[in-house]
Amino acid sequence: GENVEQHPSTLSVQEGDSAVIKCTYSDSASNYFPWYKQELGKRPQLIIDIRSNVGEKKDQRIAVTLNKTAKHFSLHITETQPEDSAVYFCAASEGKLVFGAGTILRVKS
Amino acid sequence: DAGITQSPRHKVTETGTPVTLRCHQTENHRYMYWYRQDPGHGLRLIHYSYGVKDTDKGEVSDGYSVSRSKTEDFLLTLESATSSQTSVYFCAISEPQETQYFGPGTRLLVL
């Protein structure tokens, strides 16, 4: 089955800097790659997603890139703000979602 | 937030007792899922349903059963709770091949 690895497990950045989180997946049949943000005590919420027929997608300060050949995808957050502090999860799906273990992002002001 | 509720939101129970968690949706989505969330493991799929009375196992299904008798309700049962089932449980819904939306979660403590 699918296996998703996510790095780093924790990331601290200064406010205004960029943050990058990387994920690799094992199943070449996976075709959908969402990213979720989870604040403390809250539910995971979708922030951006990408399908396998697209290499990059951007939504304001957030972008996701996908390299199907290398089987990895990344989340990029530019101009980070304190409210970006949360746990971020990547996932890959060829029908069922398989999640990475999560990245704790801390934005220091 | 999508129209998903979970009940109870918090529960403390003793080892060996049965526990049922309920997920209720008002979105009429075909797929429903149960996940557990534990530190260092992300979200792991327990069971899912692709229609009324149609369910299948996820990666951590041992010790859990599910039922879906109506489109809007998906029940997760722990037949005999164990301390290893202490976790936060999330329900999610989706249409086929579409985004999953999560419920608010249930915190379960098994003593």
Confidence label for B109 from pLDDT (cuts 50, 70 and 90): very high
What is the structure's pLDDT at B47? Answer: 97
- Is the pLDDT at B97 greater than 90? The verdict is no
pLDDT at residue number A26 = 96
Q: What pLDDT score was predicted for residue B41?
A: 83
Among the partner-chain residues B41, B59, B99, the one whose CB lies closest to the CB of A49 is B99
Indicate yes or no: CB of B45 within 8 angstroms of CB of A45: no
- Residue pairs spanning A and B at CB distance below 8 A: 41
Mutation target to probe the B interface, by most B beta carbons within 10 A, among A97, A98, A103 is: A97
A72-104 tens-digit pLDDT:
999 999 999 999 999 999 999 988 899 999 999
Q: How far is CA B90 from the centre of its chain?
A: 6
- The pLDDT of residue A52 is 85
Q: Which of A34, A99, A101 sits opposite B99 (nearest CB)?
A: A34
Mean pLDDT of B38-57: 93
Question: Taking an 8 Å Cβ-Cβ cutoff, which residues of chain B contact chain A?
Answer: 1, 40-45, 48, 58-59, 90, 97, 99-105
Which residues in A lie closer than 8 A to residue B41 (C-beta atoms)? Answer: 101
Q: Which residue of A has its CA nearest to B42?
A: A101
Six token digits for residue A102: 């999560």
Contact A96 B102 (CB under 8 A): no
pLDDT tens string A10-33: 999 999 999 999 999 999 999 999
Nearest residue to A34 (alpha-carbon basis) of A26, A45, A42: A45
Of B42, B100, B104, the CB nearest to A101: B42
Residue A94: Cβ within 10 Å count: 17
Indicate whether B2 pLDDT > 80. no
User: pLDDT digit string (tens) for A24-71?
Assistant: 999 999 999 999 999 999 999 999 999 988 899 999 999 999 999 999
Interface check for A27 against chain B (CB to CB < 8 A): the answer is: no
Q: pLDDT grade, residue B1 (50/70/90)?
A: low
